[in-house]
Amino acid sequence: MNSALSVPATASLDDPFYYLTNFRFVLAWVNDRHHDLLGEPERAFLSAFRALPHASQALLARMVMRKGEHFRTGKLVYVEIGDTGQALAPLVKAGLVERDPMLTAAELGHHLLLSELKQALAFDIRAAGLGASPAKKVLLEHLVPTLSAVKPLSEWWPDAPDTLVRLSVMETCDRLRLMFFGNLRQDWAEFVLTELGRQRFEPVALSFEARAFARRDEVTTYLYLHRLRERLSDGEPPAALFNEVPKVSGNRWLDARRSRLLVSMGREAERSGDEALSLTLYQAATGSDARIRQLRLLERRGEDRRALELARAALEGGPRESERQALERLIPRLERRLGGPPVKRGQGAAVAVKTLTLLGPRPVERAVAEHLSRPNAPVYYVENSLITGLFGLLLWPALFKPLPGAFFHPFHSAPADLYREDFVEARREEIDACLARLDDGRHVQGIRDVFADKHGTASAFIHWPALDETLLETALTCIPGKHLRALFERLLEDLKHNRAGFPDLIQFFPEADGGPGYRMIEVKGPGDRLQDNQRRWLAHFQRHAIPVEVCHVRWQATP
């Protein structure tokens, strides 16, 4: 079916069961669009959920939308649901919730207050000689290693005033949420924030074929990679996780996620001193970050020849600008270490540099902005928000073009393929049409129209609070279209890395004798220095005669 699927209205917050309406909406959406990706656990859950009484459905939705899997029944009190025990019974009977689940001592400590732990573990506390009022952290540090029993709360603490229950379908619900959003960053709050008017999303025609995953195993792999990252964050050593990292075949998006996990594991292995494992992890990953980290580690280990061979091969492969910068810095250093002649780096055109001595210390960017600003030459602290904001406004039609695989639910602030290699090529015609407006001045009214029409609509490139109408109009007056084209074209070369690194400040000269003008100002406080992405942007500004200077700040010595 190729026709666009209209998005049903989500719940109103005036409805006390708004969250249940939204939960049902997601389940129906996933069942309609991903039915072929559902396995027996998901189908069984959907069937069991439909058979539940209304109050039980509401309680389950409340639990799914909260953090964790374990809940004290005393904290599951909702006016619109009524009697918690009555709503809970069908959930337990259907196997969706487990009553009085088994707990380790550590899990018990997580769910009980200190005063409750003192009652539940009174005997153990006295036996350990911990005194009458140990802190919770101290109590658990002493007792958890000695308490190996795994038993329900009713046995740990027979006099507990309520019951503990465990949501046994959270993993299934996470899978369904992942299929809806295409990621696990977004959750049920998207619905609520939209209803409150705090978020608005661009309406994009969504076909039945538009979805994040094509095969069930892709969903499974995503979830598995996510769990491994959680385990790494929880302190499990990379050596224990490495053999569990799944292979990825034929899906560049998942392979990129896998590689980011391997790089994180490699960094952790480096920090712990296991350089051999770190190298193995970097080698198993793909992407420029993994390659550069591998080369730097080889250099640190004294494996210069191997590092040089790999670095030259990477440079010949036509890397992106950020990787090329790192390679061109690394290769001469390796060549010198291997006995080659000194290699002089090419010197680009010099960027204007000034030094200011100001009263401080205080936020350095604000200090420079206040010092330089004049009524007829205002200075704005914009950093990465202005140019990317103008980019997002001008290219709005291209960014939100409803291409296959780009949008698959109503809550996108950017297309899902934003950072993929074929992003620009897939929208070449629309992007070229947008950029062409910069050549004859049509961009000014075009940007104004989008700003007025889309203000507040979520966009990955626009931070609305930082882009008011005065700043917008001043920028459109003072920044030539050819400069914006040069900036936007570089952004499009590598959206992920080039959207950062812009100068901190911009000063406008709307009444200059030669016509409106501007200058960008990168501010560096004492001891601060230019980052690589800033250096790349400065070089680009120089190539295109875009006015920029670097301002170093010294704090005035107090008497």
- Residues 6 or more apart from 298 whose CB is under 8 A from it? 279, 304, 306, 307, 310
pLDDT at residue 250 in the model? 79
Long-range contacts of 450-457 (CB under 8 A, 24+ apart): 450/393, 450/394, 450/396, 451/393, 454/202, 454/393, 454/396, 456/200, 457/200, 457/201, 457/202
**503-519: pLDDT as tens digits:** 999 999 999 998 999 99
How far apart are the C-alpha atoms of 401 and 406, rounded to whole Å?
A: 8
How far apart are the C-alpha atoms of 228 and 213, rounded to whole Å?
A: 20
Task: State the DSSP H helix or E strand holding residue 470, giving kind and residue range, or none if neither.
Answer: helix 469-478
* Residue 100 near residue 165, CB atoms below 8 Å: yes
pLDDT at residue 5 in the model? 40
- Residues 6 or more apart from 62 whose CB is under 8 A from it? 19, 76, 78, 81
How far apart are the C-alpha atoms of 241 and 230, rounded to whole Å?
A: 11
Domain ranges of the chain: 4-194, 225-337, 352-555
How far apart are the C-alpha atoms of 402 and 204, rounded to whole Å?
A: 6
pLDDT at residue 347 in the model? 54
Displacement of CA 172 from its chain's centroid (Å): 23
The one-digit pLDDT tens for each residue of the chain (559 residues) are: 333 344 445 556 678 999 999 999 999 999 999 999 999 999 999 999 999 999 999 999 999 999 999 999 999 999 999 999 999 999 999 999 999 999 999 999 999 999 999 999 989 888 888 877 788 998 899 899 999 999 999 999 999 999 999 999 999 999 999 999 999 999 888 887 676 667 899 999 887 777 889 899 999 999 999 999 999 999 999 999 999 999 988 788 899 899 999 999 999 999 999 999 999 999 999 999 999 999 999 999 999 999 999 999 999 998 989 899 999 999 999 999 998 876 665 555 578 899 999 988 899 999 999 999 999 999 999 999 999 999 999 999 999 999 888 998 889 999 999 998 889 999 999 999 999 999 999 999 999 999 999 999 999 999 999 999 999 999 999 999 999 999 999 999 999 999 999 999 999 999 999 899 999 999 999 989 999 999 999 999 999 999 999 999 999 876 5
pTM: 0.84
- Residues 6 or more apart from 499 whose CB is under 8 A from it? 384, 388, 461, 491
- Residues 6 or more apart from 226 whose CB is under 8 A from it? 184
Pairing mode, strands 70-72 and 4-5: unpaired
* Residue 297 near residue 270, CB atoms below 8 Å: yes
Displacement of CA 451 from its chain's centroid (Å): 25
User: How would CATH label the architecture of 225-337?
Assistant: Alpha Horseshoe (1.25)
